[in-house]
Amino acid sequence: MQRTGQYTIEYNNPPFIIGFASVVGKKEGEGPLKEYFHKIENDTKLGCQTWEQAESKMQQEAVDIALSNSSINSKDIHIAFGGDLLNQCISTSYNIRNFSIPFLGQYGACSTMIQSLLLSGIAVESGCAEKALAVTSSHFCSAERQYRYPLEYGGQRTPTAQWTVTGSGAVIVGKDTNGIGIRHCTIGKVIDMGVTDMNNMGSAMAPSACETIKSYLTDTNTQPDDYDLILTGDLGKVGSDLLMELLLKENIDISEQHNDCGKMIYDIEKQDVHAGGSGCGCCASVLCGKILQKMYKQELNNILVIATGALMSPTATQQGESIPAIAHLVHLQNS
């Protein structure tokens, strides 16, 4: 591996995505991407006693399907990278407890999927692992009560608010000779523009997406139209508009290539999700649903995925802190 430019890392013997799966909840399964998910769970609790257990089980299902679809035994996975939004990342720890896989817990808020994926790529290319696993999830019910209000309270949502996706995605990375290769990654810096509104996460995260995209394009000396798709994680409608605006100030126009998982996963008008979807499971389930399936079929061949994360906590917000954000990028290319 080697560094390219100031912030970007190039994978020389690119690791490949050799398995993936997505599992989502009922609302996501009624949205525009329903045909792409590997499994849709109509029971919010997946038969468990709590939403936290349900989220963990959803992750476990995603891992199981990814392993099974690629005929890989969990014993052959040398390292798992993953995390989630819940305090102390319990969805992931309690999921990985079911597998005998060495585990490094990640916390990047909604950027966790790409953070885990880029580290899986580094683990495989560097020789630390023959195969690595990247996994994450979020659940509307477990997140809502932790970050905002008890569900029973029925709090009003502002127009800028996003809807936490109930979903999980798992990716297995390994060596191969062709397929979906991980070509570059750009690890983001923590950027805080002073936004304090927990109901406007898109705006808090857009500046970090802008910074990471700009760094990557500069470092690799490429243009937006070199790519079939430039996909952000969960900026939603408000954050995506702001990202366009910020990038245009830098003379970067990605309007032709850009889409956002938070805009794609729901029918924003009909499903009443205000500014769109969010949560670790948003980028994870869209990536492991529609996007990787389209790459697998070579309908997409060269894409950038930039997942953003808002790194605050309710405690920090209550103490008057603003919201620091981060964005990590991976460049995926078919070969």
Give contact residues for a copy of itself (rule: CB under 8 A). Answer: 1-3, 7, 9, 49-50, 52-53, 78-79, 83, 85-90, 93-94, 96-97, 100-109, 115, 119, 122-123, 125-130, 146, 186-192, 311-316, 319, 321, 324, 326, 328
Distance of closest approach, residue 122 Cβ to a copy of itself, in angstroms: 6
Nearer to a copy of itself, 18 or 132 (CB): 132
Nearest residue to 19 via CA among 124, 172, 159 = 172
Nearer to a copy of itself, 102 or 159 (CB): 102
Distances (CA, A) of 293 to 36, 175, 185, 300: 8, 19, 21, 9
Distance of closest approach, residue 140 Cβ to a copy of itself, in angstroms: 16
Nearer to a copy of itself, 9 or 24 (CB): 9
Distance of closest approach, residue 284 Cβ to a copy of itself, in angstroms: 16
Distance of closest approach, residue 54 Cβ to a copy of itself, in angstroms: 12
Nearest residue to 266 via CA among 170, 171, 196, 161 = 161
Nearer to a copy of itself, 40 or 72 (CB): 72
Please tell me the number of Cα atoms within 13 Å of 330 on its side-chain side. 27
Distance of closest approach, residue 236 Cβ to a copy of itself, in angstroms: 20
| Residues with Cβ within 8 Å of residue 88, at least 6 apart in sequence | none
For residues 168 and 116, the answer to whether their CB atoms sit within 8 Å is no
Nearer to a copy of itself, 5 or 32 (CB): 5
Distance CA 5, CA 187 (A): 13
Nearer to a copy of itself, 7 or 163 (CB): 7
Judging by beta carbons within 10 Å of its beta carbon (0-12, 13-18, 19+), is residue 119 exposed, middle or buried?
buried
Distance of closest approach, residue 242 Cβ to a copy of itself, in angstroms: 20
Nearer to a copy of itself, 118 or 300 (CB): 118
- Give the distance, in angstroms, between the CA of residue 191 and the centroid of all CA atoms in the same chain: 18
Nearer to a copy of itself, 7 or 266 (CB): 7
Distance of closest approach, residue 228 Cβ to a copy of itself, in angstroms: 26
Judging by beta carbons within 10 Å of its beta carbon (0-12, 13-18, 19+), is residue 257 exposed, middle or buried?
middle
Distance of closest approach, residue 29 Cβ to a copy of itself, in angstroms: 26
Nearer to a copy of itself, 15 or 29 (CB): 15
Distance CA 136, CA 58 (A): 10
- Three-state SS string over 186-243 comes to ECCCCECCCCCCCCCHHHHHHHHHHHHHHHHHHHHCCCHHHCCEEEECCCHHHHHHHH
Residue that has been written with the tokens 């405690």 in this structure = 315
Distance of closest approach, residue 142 Cβ to a copy of itself, in angstroms: 9
From first CA to last CA, the distance across the chain in angstroms is 18
| Residues with Cβ within 8 Å of residue 152, at least 6 apart in sequence | none
